[in-house]
Amino acid sequence: MATTTESVTPPKVTETECFIGGRWTPSVTGKTFETINPATEEVICEVAEGDAGDVDLAVDAARTAFCDGPWGKMDARDRGMLIHRLANLIERDLVELGALESLDNGKPVNDSCSADLPLAIDCLRYYAGWADKIHGKTIPVRGDFLVYTRREPVGVVGQIIPWNFPILMTAWKWGPALATGCTIIMKPAEQTPLTCLRMAKLAQEAGIPDGVINVIPGYGPTAGGSIVKHPGVDKIAFTGEHITAQIIMREAAETMKRLTFELGGKSPNIVFADSDLDAAIAGAHFGLFFNQGQCCCAGSRVFVEESVHDQFVEKLVASVKNRKLGDPLDPVTEQGPQVDQTQMDKILSYIDLGNEQGAHCATGGKRFGDRGYFVEPTVFTEVQDEMKISTDEIFGPVMSVFKFKDMDEIIERANKTMYGLAAAVWTQDVNKAHHVANNVRAGTVWVNCYDAFDAAAPFGGFKMSGIGRELGEVALDNYLEDKTVTVALS
Ligand code: NAI
Ligand code: MG
């Protein structure tokens, strides 16, 4: 994987406007909003604040590109080639994009360049390969008929993404939408609009026709809500908080939009006494603290079998104390700031709740420094299942460690959550591993690993963690309509 070894110079910001029909334009209202560097709390730049008027223009552009432009008539294999070209351009600009991501989001540049970007490039290449392999079936029926199905693009799709993985979420959304021949109106999160806008520029350079990808930066209820309510948008793909998804579901009902949701989690990470304990500790550390704990699948509930609990905690806390916090653009930094003041305050209030409700703060527990939205990596032990830090998605560097006794107990406790996004189990016993994998109600189960992602492996949630799956072949279904053609042969 690519890594950066030298300190990265802050990148130049060149795209700050709406991208509609292949043109950069200020917002219709002329309004702008600030995007902030979370490491310094300084304004990076002003960005066009899109709203209903911009969404109207983007829907027109996307509909025209879908119905009348070259995109709709293009051979699927050529469509795939364009997605490949976009992936190649992102790879060409990897360090630049990685630095821009770190500037806007605060994540360590080494993570941007060694995780977010390679995964995004891989995702686009994976879906480029699917473009010409999407086809229907011929189906035997009663009587003298030829019946076949066509798999047609759903049309104009609205895609609304959060701030925790701006580049990667853009790739997860664009990949299957482009492969199936849809056209896109994307709204990046208001905290992190810059890399998605840069990717739109690269899409144009790759030769993806104007109007196929449109990007409207702006706020959720205004720009996002306008996409959700617009009768010219056929589908919404959303990643973010379940409460936002519930609003979207209600607002999308009027126009009967297709919906897919990838939402939050409170994922159990289960460590049996027979596991390779050092590997489990490293996995627990990475599974929660990666990306400042701002992961939908963060392993935020670590359950450790009683007999190894104290040993586990001692070594884990030592490793957490070694985490290097600092400037996201410094390649040795392991943990940057949280994305904004709101998130930092939310996390600190959960830490207060943990202390008030009687958990033991084994390390961390405070803001780090007084400039930038940094939070110390924090571990709570002696945590009980009913505490707020056990039930709520904190979305920050706060781990809760629990003790457990046996298998039946742990399955029940692991499932005692409204979420069902991910789970992990650490054991050398293949029977235990499969028992957990089969009985835990979650869309992804990792055995002796954590956060092992691949573009080909579906990802998404049970219960309140979402509807539908991203990645893999199955994600194509989100962007397709099946059409049945019946031909009388007699
Ligand atoms: P959010 O769900 O409100 O924001 C995600 C995206 O949805 C952003 O682009 C936002 O502008 C947009 N949005 C917000 N309200 C909207 C509306 N009414 N209509 C259409 N689009 C709308 O998440 P937020 O407020 O940034 O974070 C709140 C909490 O959500 C976090 O503390 C965390 O617990 C969770 N979260 C979970 C994520 C995940 O990957 N599962 C990602 C981000 C946040
Ligand atoms: Mg919100």
Which residue has tokens 């990808």? 213
Taking Cα atoms as reference points, which of 227, 238, 252 lies closest to residue 20? 227
CA atoms within 13 A on the CB side of 320: 30
* 284 CB near ligand 1 (under 6 Å): no
CA-CA distance, 58 to 178, in Å (whole number)?
16
pLDDT single digits (tens) 5-53: 567 888 999 999 999 999 999 999 999 999 999 999 999 999 999 999 9
CA-CA distance, 237 to 255, in Å (whole number)?
15
* 224 CB near ligand 1 (under 6 Å): yes
The predicted structure's pLDDT at residue 6: 64
User: Which one of 55, 241, 294 would you pick to mutate in the ligand 1 pocket, going by the greatest count of ligand atoms within 8 A of its CB?
Assistant: 241
Ligand 1: residue whose CA is nearest its atom 9: 189
CA atoms within 13 A on the CB side of 287: 35
Task: Work out the number of other CB atoms within 10 angstroms of the CB of residue 374.
Answer: 22
User: Which one of 216, 244, 261, 451 would you pick to mutate in the ligand 1 pocket, going by the greatest count of ligand atoms within 8 A of its CB?
Assistant: 244
Residue 301 has which token pair?
A: 């509930």
Ligand 1: residue whose CA is nearest its atom 18: 221
Residues 168, 188 contacting (CB under 8 angstroms): no
Angle between helices 430-439 and 407-414 (to 10 degrees): 30
Task: Work out the number of other CB atoms within 10 angstroms of the CB of residue 361.
Answer: 17
User: Which one of 104, 116, 160 would you pick to mutate in the ligand 1 pocket, going by the greatest count of ligand atoms within 8 A of its CB?
Assistant: 160
For residue 189, the CA-to-ligand 1 centroid distance in Å is 8
67: phi then psi, degrees, rounded to nearest 5: -90, -40
* 465 CB near ligand 1 (under 6 Å): no
Residues 181, 130 contacting (CB under 8 angstroms): no
* 222 CB near ligand 1 (under 6 Å): no
* 176 CB near ligand 1 (under 6 Å): no
For residue 44, the CA-to-ligand 1 centroid distance in Å is 21
> What is the pTM for the complete model shown?
0.98
The predicted structure's pLDDT at residue 165: 98
* 162 CB near ligand 1 (under 6 Å): yes
The predicted structure's pLDDT at residue 1: 34
Checking if the pLDDT of 3 tops 50, the result is no
| Average pLDDT estimate for 172-183 | 98
Task: Work out the number of other CB atoms within 10 angstroms of the CB of residue 334.
Answer: 16
Residue 10 has which token pair?
A: 């802050």
For residue 304, the CA-to-ligand 1 centroid distance in Å is 31
361: enclosing H helix or E strand: strand 360-363
pLDDT single digits (tens) 464-481: 999 999 999 999 999 999
pLDDT single digits (tens) 197-206: 999 999 999 9
CB-neighbour burial class of residue 91 (10 A; exposed 0-12, middle 13-18, buried 19+) = middle
Average pLDDT of the residues of the chain: 97
The predicted structure's pLDDT at residue 314: 98
Render 224-261 in DSSP notation, one character per residue. Answer: IHHHHH-TT--EEEEES-HHHHHHHHHHHHTTT-EEEE
The predicted structure's pLDDT at residue 404: 98
* 189 CB near ligand 1 (under 6 Å): yes
* 248 CB near ligand 1 (under 6 Å): yes
What positions carry a catalytic annotation? 262, 296
| Average pLDDT estimate for 81-95 | 98
Atom of ligand 1 nearest to the CA of 265: 41
- Give exposure, 138-167, as e/b (b: 16+ Cβ within 10 Å): eeeeeeeeeeeeebbbbbbbbbbbbbbbbb
Nearest ligand to the C-alpha atom of residue 233: 1
pLDDT single digits (tens) 347-384: 999 999 999 999 999 999 999 999 999 999 999 999 99
pLDDT single digits (tens) 370-427: 999 999 999 999 999 999 999 999 999 999 999 999 999 999 999 999 999 999 999 9
pLDDT single digits (tens) 207-220: 999 999 999 999 99
| Average pLDDT estimate for 166-179 | 99
